[in-house]
Structure 1
Amino acid sequence: MSGPTRVAAVDCGTNSLRLLIAEPASDGSLTDVARDMIVVRLGQGVDATGEFAPEAIERTREALAGYVERMLEAGVERVRMVATSATRDAGNRDDFFAMTAELLGRIQPGAVAEVISGDEEARLSFRGAVGGLDPADGPFVVTDLGGGSTEVVVGGERGVTGAYSANIGCVRLTERALRSDPPTLDEREAAVGHARGELAKAFAAVDVSGARTWVGVAGTLTTFAAVNSGLETYDPEAIHHSRIGLADLHALCSRIVAMTRDERMTLGPMHPGRADVIGGGALVTQELARNFADRAAITEMVVSEHDILDGIALGLLD
């Protein structure tokens, strides 16, 4: 193919399958060719059963097959797919890997989804998230709030100085504690206890006291920013690098966790595949916000549409 090298990054999380097709820009950054997200809920029931549900693997296969067709049309030369929290926990992961090898092999022989460590997940997310921010606003603390895990990463111009992957996310917390619609007060209190316990491990491992800017990535946090901004539909360009004060963030999270799923769906930017689990994400977000305020005197969150996908793509172009 003539022109710049095109690469594809695929992030297979607990809740969603995401795609970035990109090529290098003249300044060393990325130029997006395509960016997409499909809610496949691969982690459905994994916390309880220890295995992927067959229908979850099939949903993921269908979505990935569509992505591969788009890669072929775009002339992608290299691809990397990472699989995160749910895949680390699943007993029947071989079925999943065989499916990804069959599909990704159409782009690059031998390509297969990789289970990356929480540490590598954190570093890739950090690289993607802070790439477009002013280094003078650092040190940064980046949080990637996913379906099964939440990464807390601190770093600055010289890279990452501390990282931890906490075993808590919006799907995992919802399945463990938030079973009613809307969640009962007892369920919310139990969920806060789970989130607080897991995040305490992150803050014991990672010193965030020197951080000056909190950068939030992934769908839960970008959705909060979109709702807070009053957007009628989800607009990535309007959301990218927008800011939300912690008082407003706490109020929004409290409102969303108390809503029914149908009430959440009346919020314009809410994705249908996120509405039933974002309450769990709201409780995790509130615990993060409390810690950043107490430990680092941070007063707002900056949201980034760039995250682990961008980190993966930049690595392919290195």
Structure 2
Amino acid sequence: MGSTSSLYAAIDLGSNSFHMLVVREVAGSIQTLTRIKRKVRLAAGLNSENALSNEAMERGWQCLRLFAERLQDIPPSQIRVVATATLRLAVNAGDFIAKAQEILGCPVQVISGEEEARLIYQGVASHNWRCRSAPGGGYRRCQY
């Protein structure tokens, strides 16, 4: 697809799970095409010196290979990949990120805690979201 593709992807490399969302813009609205969440447990691979184990990195890369299969039709300029706490902390985060970028074919941005909080707030506070909750937090449904 060319640079006028209406497909976009967002990938969140979290401490416990990796998330990928693929959407299409249709007539000014957003249509979700793919939503994947995989438990990777990246933070569980941090040792006392804050180095990620090879096993934890391999779990992450394996998940990213799955994501990459679904990104084939999306221009890299329309994919945003962010990494959070574990990759801010890991002394060998550069090794993980270099291979992640090779697998995905696009940059991985390690965001600050402040940016992470801002993005979470922006998503929750967006006027386009409608959420319903059951008392006690046992049920929550949000849609865009």
Normalised TM-score (structure 1): 0.40
**Quick check: 2:6–2:26 contact (8 Å CA) kept in 1?**
no
2:44 counterpart SS class: coil
Q: Partner letter of residue 20 of structure 2?
A: L
Distance 2:117 2:47 in 1: 21
1:101-154, Cα deviation, whole Å (9 max, x unpaired): 21122xxxxx221100112112222222233347xxxxxxxxxxxxxxxxxxxx
- Alignment equivalent of 1:76, drawn from 74, 80, 83: 74
- Distance of 1:45 and 1:69 partners within structure 2: 25
Cα–Cα, structure 1 residues 305 and 18, in superposed 2: closer, same or farther, change >3 Å? farther
Q: Considering only aligned residues, what root-mean-square deviation do their CA atoms show, in Å?
A: 2.5
4+ long deviations beyond 6 Å = none
Whether the 8 Å contact between 2:9 and 2:21 is mirrored in structure 1 is yes
Overall identity of the aligned pairs, in %: 31
Q: Secondary structure at the match of 2:18?
A: strand
Kindly indicate whether the alpha-carbon contact (under 8 Å) linking 1:129 and 1:305 is maintained by their aligned counterparts in 2: no
Answer yes or no: is the 8 Å Cα contact 1:129–1:304 preserved in 2.
no
Number of equivalent positions: 140
Question: Residue in 1 aligned with 2:65?
Answer: 65
Deviation per CA, 1:77-105, whole angstroms, max 9, x where unpaired? 22111000111110111111111121122
CA contact (8 A) 1:19 1:67 kept: yes
Change (3 A) 1:51 1:35: same
Name the CA distance, whole Å, in 1 between partners of 2:91 and 2:101.
18
Larger Rg computed on CA atoms: 1
The structure with the largest helix share of the pair is 1
Corresponding residue of 2:124: 129
Paired residues of 2:16 and 2:43 also in contact (CA < 8 A): yes
Tell me, yes or no, if structure 1 residue 243 matches structure 2 residue 133. yes
The residue identity in structure 2 corresponding to 1:130 is: A
CA distance in 2, matches of 1:126, 1:37: 20
Structure 1: stretches of 5+ with no match in the other structure = 106-110, 135-240, 253-300, 307-318
Show structure 2 runs of 5+ residues with no match: none
1:93 matched to 2:88? The reply is no
Secondary structure of the residue that 2:71 maps to in structure 1?
Answer: helix
Q: Secondary structure at the match of 1:44?
A: helix
Contact 2:10 2:81 in 1 (8 A): yes
Distance 1:125 1:44, change over 3 A: same
Offset, 1:25: 3.5
Match 1:118 to one of 97, 100, 113: 113
Q: Deviations over 1:151-186 (max 9, x none)?
A: xxxxxxxxxxxxxxxxxxxxxxxxxxxxxxxxxxxx
